Each structure stands twice: as structure tokens, then as C-alpha cells.
Amino acid sequence: GDIVRLTEADQPRMAEVERKVLRHGNLDRGPYVWARIFAPGFKQTQALGVSFDGALEGYLVLRAEQVASPPFQDLHVTDIAAATPRAARRLLSFLAEHRSLAQHIHLNAGPDDPLLGMLPEPKYHQELVEPWMLRVLDVQSTLQSRGFAVERRLSFGIEVEDPVCPDHAGRYTVTVEEGRAQVERGGSGPALRAPVQALAPLFTGFRSASTLARMGALEGDPEALAAADRAFLGPMPVMKDMF
């Protein structure tokens, strides 16, 4: 593929590539977010794309930053997207060509980003920039608004402790079927017992019910833990953009 220079006028084409790799929960970028990508902190960047037969299949936006040790600069990739494997490989090879010019490359990405898995030698350090802040206020409507990638029917109870919003505390029965959840008050049988703080990482898929139980963040009967693990299974929540 050919490496081509891009400008802010190419933003619609870049957005088309970015939408092809967009995950659920990511921002649908508007002018403000794109302006932050092209000029983060009002710093100058360079946008480059990878083109095959005239069609843009990937791009990156980067800037150089001076450092104290040789070769005296780092590269910061403020945004990168590849709609095809060949575009991803070309972007990675382009960055590798700068190994004599930059000490480190800083990439804003999630821990399960495909680009990291395509490195021939996965030598990199990960740093959590800012953890998500999420608080479940209405247990019933929150769970019923979520999609679930579960093929067969499953059910479990959950007893919620919430001293701040006591109206939403208590026991619920969660029944997941055909990708949706039906949540009703009360019930009996195997259940999770969780303070409201444990619902956010469970709801987002950040941590499984079994992991939260090992942390002491919640308790549960083995049947309820297994059912919740299957229900909330999904990709780790990641957001590259600020808002």
C-alpha cells in the first residue's frame, strides 16, 4: 500500500475508515473530537493514510516530542485505524521504519487492540490512563437496556445493597433470553449478593462475576456465578476518546 499525506479536509474519509472498526460504546465522533485528534493540546500533528488502488483503508495521526536521551524524540500516535489486515500491517511497518529516529512510540489503544496482536515481537508496556467512572442508579432499567450475547435461556438472582439509593436495593431475578434481559423484583434460588459498587464492572463486562467474587467484591452461589459469567461475557470496555 501507498503512504499518503492527509489533511483535515480528508476527515470524512478518515471517519469512514474509523466507523468500520468502531466498537459498541465508542463515541460517534463529532467536530470537537476530531479537532482534538488533529491538534491535541494545540500541538502540531501529521496525518498519514495507507491507500490501495486509490482507496483509503487505514490512517494514523502522529506527532513528535523531544526527549532527553538519544535519538531525542518519541512518536505519539493520537489516532490510528485500519479497516483491513493489510492496512494494519502497512501502518505497523511504517512506524517500524522510524526505529532509528524515535526511542518510543506511544499508542492510544485498548488492551485487546488487533494492532497489538499483529506485532511480530509483542514488546510493549501498557498504562491505564484513566479508569471508567460508572454508577448504576436503576438496577432494573439498566440491566433491561443491555444486550446479551447468550443463545440459551438462563436465570439468576441478584441481591443488591445500595445505601445511597435504597429504593433500588433488594433482590432481583434476571432472566436472559434471545439477547435481552427481563428483570423482576423478588424471587428465590441461586443468587449473587453484591454492593452496588460491584455492578458497574459486572455490567460493562470489565470483570466477570467469578473474578469479582475472588476479589471479595461480591458473593454468590456457584450456579449464580456461572450464569452471570455467561450472561455478561463480552469484550473489555475501552474508549479512546475523551468527552
What is the spatial distance between Cα 220 and Cα 190, in angstroms, rounded to a whole number?
Answer: 8
What is the spatial distance between Cα 16 and Cα 32, in angstroms, rounded to a whole number?
Answer: 17
CB-based contact 91:107 (threshold 8 Å): no
What is the spatial distance between Cα 25 and Cα 240, in angstroms, rounded to a whole number?
Answer: 11
Residue ranges per structural domain of the chain: 2-117, 139-231
Number of Cβ atoms within 10 Å of the Cβ of 15: 16
What is the spatial distance between Cα 190 and Cα 133, in angstroms, rounded to a whole number?
Answer: 29
- Name the one residue in this structure whose C-alpha cell is 439498566: 142
Buried b vs exposed e over 52-74: b needs ≥16 C-beta within 10 Å?
A: eeeebbbbbbbbbeeeeeeeeee
What is the spatial distance between Cα 76 and Cα 40, in angstroms, rounded to a whole number?
Answer: 11
| Predicted pLDDT at 223 | 96
Fold of 2-117: Aminopeptidase (3.40.630)
DSSP 236: P
Say which residue, 122 or 224, is predicted with more confidence.
224
Q: Do domains 2-117 and 139-231 have the same CATH topology?
A: no
In this predicted model, what pLDDT tens digit does every residue of 86-100 receive, in sequence order? Answer: 999 999 999 999 988
What is the spatial distance between Cα 223 and Cα 211, in angstroms, rounded to a whole number?
Answer: 15
Q: Is the whole-model pTM more than 0.75?
A: yes
Percent of the chain at pLDDT > 70 equals 100
| Predicted pLDDT at 49 | 97
Fold of 139-231: Nonspecific Lipid-transfer Protein; Chain A (3.30.1050)
239 confidence band (pLDDT: 50, 70, 90): confident
In this predicted model, what pLDDT tens digit does every residue of 183-223 receive, in sequence order? Answer: 999 999 899 999 999 999 999 999 999 999 999 999 999 99
Query: What backbone phi and psi angles, to 5 degrees, belong to 139?
Result: -60, -45
User: Which range is least confidently modeled, 128-132, 162-166, 231-235?
Assistant: 128-132
Query: What is the chain's mean pLDDT, rounded?
Result: 91
